[in-house]
Structure 1
Amino acid sequence: MRQSLAFLSILPLVLTHPTKHAYQCIDFDVPLSFQAPSLEPAFLPFKSHYDSVAFLQSLSSRTSSDGPSPYKGQSTIDVNVTIAAQFCFPPGRSPTTVQILSHGLGFDHVYWSFGGQNSEYNYVKAATAAGYSTLSYDRLGNGGSTKGDAYTLNQATIETEVLKRLTDHVRSWDIPCLSHLHAPTKVTHVGHSFGSQITNQLVSTYPNVSDGIVLTGYSTLPASVDFAIGTNFFLAKDVLPQIYGNLSTGYLIWDQQSQNQYLFLHWPNFSPQVLAEGEQNKWPLSISELLSTSVHNATNFSNPALIISGQYDGVFCGFNCTGVLPQARTTFSGATPFETYVQPNTGHGINLHYNSTGAYQVINNFLARNVKN
């Protein structure tokens, strides 16, 4: 049962099979209302996968950069959405630093707690064991959050504003179902892939909003068109009609497990069972999420920044991250300190590889050194 910010009642959710690393979580919903700029598509909504695949062909053409923009302008729209969130913390204490976790495309917030309480692929487990609390949430179009117009609502700028408003709620601690816990004094942000992109845009637009950022599955190189090709641009409502049959044609998804491997994983450094579970729990991506992202200059952000990506990240490094990540220094020239780390034997989905706990240690050690809990 989820709680809403409109409700004063509280229902803690203690995850099953507690261990010495057991943590507690509270699920709740956050209603948000604001105005934001929305890009206006210059292309017609897809009628079928024939349209979407043809659009993919135009995007991946060698002359695509010379073609017209897929958007014809922008307008200001009213955004009225509900965001599903989960706050987790170590038992018996209320940490002073909270990590706000933003997942990437193809997942919901479960990316951060993959496999459950006892899983080694569970970042929330690692963060709470290190003494932090976490706030993970479903981005627009995913999990329990609003599934609106994939063409005009689910865009990077709007999702950045969602993240800003979630951060404001944490900063002011006006979340009724968490009022029994002490308010945190520090707020950091950890993103993955698209979640890292909107975190970049967040600290570019609001340089004082975060006490420290960690961008995983990320670089400041343009995201490879191979990611779009790997999704096949199939309509989610056609691939999984029993689940996504009511979604608009702007929601896209891949149809084969091998594509999931191609996009996120590096063999033989993952378990086939993890791949199967990831495929079973995949979420659609929105066409405008893919089209609306870019690198944002964040030179005014002066707090700690870490970029960590897999050695064989195909989305942001073309399957070879050696020498790539330090190029982001110019984008985060004010960050103090600024560090990069390449996680060995790992693809784009860092959390889904055998050595995920090593990456978790790098992240939480960085935060421990630079953002005092």
Structure 2
Amino acid sequence: MRQSLAFLSILPLALTHPTKQSYQCIDFDVPLTFQAPSLEPAFPPFKSHYDSVAFLQSISSRTSSDGPSPYKGQKSIDVDVSIAAQFCFPPGRSPTTVQILSHGLGFDHKYWAFGGENSEYNYVKAATAAGFSTLSYDRLGTGGSTKGDAYTLSQETIEMEILKRLTDHVRDWDIPCLSHLHAPTKVTHVGHSFGSQITNDLVATYPNVSDGIVLTGYSTRKASVYFAIGSNYGLAKDILPKIYGNLSTGYLIWDQQFQAQYLFLHWPNFSPQILAEGEQNKWPFSVSEMLSTSVHPAGNFSKPAMIISGQYDGVFCEFNCTGVLPSASSTFSGATPFKTYVQPNTGHGINLHYNATGAYSVINDFFSSYVKN
């Protein structure tokens, strides 16, 4: 059980003791308080599945781009949240370069360590084996982090500001439970899908905050409506009432594993067991996360940047990423270098495919070549 914090500090919650040739992790909570702009919905809160499905029809309509915005403006709100985080590092070594990992919709931070410590789907295992440390965290509404208002709080800009503040804590080494380790000299960022979207926003807004980025499951094309259609979402509180019955109606989720296959996986290049495990560990996403995404030109970001997506990514490439990714060079025109890579025989959820370790090597070789001391 995670401890609750009554004061603004960062405390360790659990220590995973390493076995030989494994990595070590420390879990902790980060309380954050700040002000940020929030989009104000122009639509009423959903009352039932009927409302959410009707809304899905409206945003996926052929003429939806000609209609009014789902938001009527924005206002500044107070953000007071707690973010659950996990810092992992090779045993016996202090971090030199830290990768901050931001997961996408439908997952929590366990996306980055899928299957556990010894799993071949475990990105943290691959990164720490390559000599890096990682900080993964649960975005708003997932895992051990705050489950706030799905309409006004869980939005891209606010989640980007959370990522900025987590990065500041790492940069300043303002994490008491990690004080026995030396402060890192480099901080990089890896995102997946919506996590890549907020990482893109991060370096567009704060171009000096990162020493290098890798965006997975991403392109600078607007996330296709296939995500909304493919999820065929409903109210999480009604689909899984025993788990999510206390969430607001703005938290949405799919109800069948084959919807997850459509969204994230490419057959026959994944194990049915992995699909089932992902389904057992899925998390809701907020309606405003889905609606507030946009591509942010990051021309002032001058550090290394890479986009890596599956050949058959349906969310950002409409199931064919061949020839799509290089156009992102205009978004990252100042990045040195800027590279793209298409992972073969892979869908949107790169980490869940048989050849995930191949993608992990590409990512960590990139950081080793252009960022690592």
TM over 0.5: yes
CA apart distance, 1:6: 4.8
Distance 1:277 1:175, change over 3 A: same
Contact 1:219 1:316 in 2 (8 A): yes
Q: Hey, what does 2:188 align to over in structure 1? A: 188
Query: How far 1:12 sits from its partner (Å)?
Result: 5.4
Does residue 1:14 correspond to 2:13, yes or no?
Answer: no
Report the alpha carbon displacement of residue 222 of structure 1 after superposing the two structures with TM: 1.1
Task: Give secondary structure in 2 for the equivalent of 1:307.
Answer: strand
Q: 1:110 maps to what in 2?
A: 110
CA contact (8 A) 2:301 2:332 kept: yes
Give the match's secondary structure for 2:347. Answer: coil
Q: AA paired with 2:135?
A: L
The aligned amino acid for 2:154 is N
Distance in 2 between the 1:211 and 1:161 partners? 18
Taking the TM superposition and a 5 Å limit, the aligned residue runs for 1:273-352 are 273-352=273-352
1:302-336: CA deviation from partner (whole Å, max 9, x where unpaired): 00000000000000000000000001000000000
Is the 8 Å Cα contact of residues 218 and 316 (structure 1) preserved in structure 2? yes
Q: TM-score, normalised by structure 1?
A: 0.97
The aligned amino acid for 2:363 is: I
CA contact (8 A) 1:15 1:117 kept: no
Partner in structure 1 of residue 79 of structure 2: 79
User: Compared with structure 1, are the counterparts of its residues 15 and 73 closer, same or farther at alpha carbon in structure 2 (3 Å cutoff)?
Assistant: same
Partner of 2:372: 372
Cα distance in structure 2, aligned partners of 1:9 and 1:255: 36
Q: What amino acid is aligned across from residue 113 of structure 1 in structure 2?
A: A
Map residues 88-103 of structure 1 onto 2, 5 A cutoff: 88-103=88-103
Which residue does the alignment assign to 1:166? 166
CA deviation after TM superposition for structure 1 residue 15, in Å:
5.1
Give 1:67's aligned residue: 67
The AA in structure 1 aligned to 2:163 is L
Q: Unpaired runs of 5+ in structure 1?
A: none
Unaligned runs of 5+ in 2: none
Report the CA distance between 1:2 and its aligned residue: 4.2
- Where do residues 174-253 of structure 1 align in structure 2 (5 Å cutoff)? 174-253=174-253
- Contact map agreement 2:313 2:348 (CA 8 A) in 1: yes
For residues 303 and 119 of structure 1, the distance between their equivalents in structure 2, rounded to whole angstroms, comes to: 31
Comparing 260-269 and 228-237, the one that deviates more: 228-237
Structure 1 moving runs of 4+ over 4 Å = 1-12
- 8 Å CA contact 2:12–2:27 kept in 1: the answer is no
Equivalent AA in structure 1 for residue 335 of structure 2: A
How far apart, in 2, do the equivalents of 1:6 and 1:89 lie?
A: 25
1: CA distance, partners of 2:205 / 2:87: 25
Task: State how far apart, in whole Å, the 1-side matches of 2:290 and 2:147 are.
Answer: 16
User: What letter is aligned with 1:153?
Assistant: L
Q: 1:35-87 CA deviation, whole Å, 9 max, x = no partner?
A: 00000000000000000000000000000000000000000000000000000
Aligned equivalents of 2:196, 2:132: Cα separation in 1:
20
CA deviation digits over 1:92-125, x for unaligned, max 9?
1012100000000000000000000100000000
Decide whether the 8 Å contact of 1:231 with 1:254 is kept in 2: yes
CA contact (8 A) 2:14 2:28 kept: no
Q: What fraction of aligned residue pairs are identical, expressed as a percent?
A: 83
How far apart are the structure 1 equivalents of 2:360 and 2:20?
19
Determine the structure 2 residue equivalent to 1:120.
120
Deviation at 1:232, TM superposition (A): 1.3
Structure 1 residue 230, shift from structure 2 partner: 1.3
Cα shift at 1:10: 4.8
Q: Secondary structure at the match of 1:135?
A: strand
Q: What letter corresponds to residue 56 of structure 1 in structure 2?
A: L
Deviations 1:164-184 (A, max 9, x none): 000000000111111111111
Say if 1:19 and 1:118, in contact at 8 Å, map to a contact too.
no
Pick closer, same or farther for the CA change 1:256–1:248 going to 2, 3 Å.
Answer: same
Secondary structure at 1:128 match in 2: helix
Amino acid at match of 1:82: S
Letter in 2 for 1:353: H
SS of match in other structure, 2:314: coil
Rounded Cα–Cα distance in structure 2 between residues aligned with 1:91 and 1:175: 18
In the aligned structure 2, how far is the partner of 1:208 from the partner of 1:100?
15
Q: Do the aligned partners of 2:10 and 2:31 also contact (CA within 8 Å) in 1?
A: no
In 2, the alpha carbon distance for the partners of 1:34 and 1:303 equals 28
Contact 2:302/2:334 (<8 A) preserved: yes
* CA displacement at 1:7 relative to structure 2: 5.7
Judged with a 3 Å threshold, the aligned counterparts in structure 2 of structure 1 residues 256 and 151 are, in CA distance, closer, same or farther, namely same
Residues 105-161 of structure 1 show CA distances to partners (whole Å, capped at 9, x for unaligned) of 000000000000100000000000000000000000000000000000000000000
Distance in 1 (CA, whole Å) between partners of 2:160 and 2:256 is: 30
Q: Distance in 2 between matches of 1:153 and 1:10?
A: 26
Aligned position for 1:49 = 49
Structure 2 distance, partners of 1:136, 1:161, is 16
Cα-Cα RMSD: 1.3
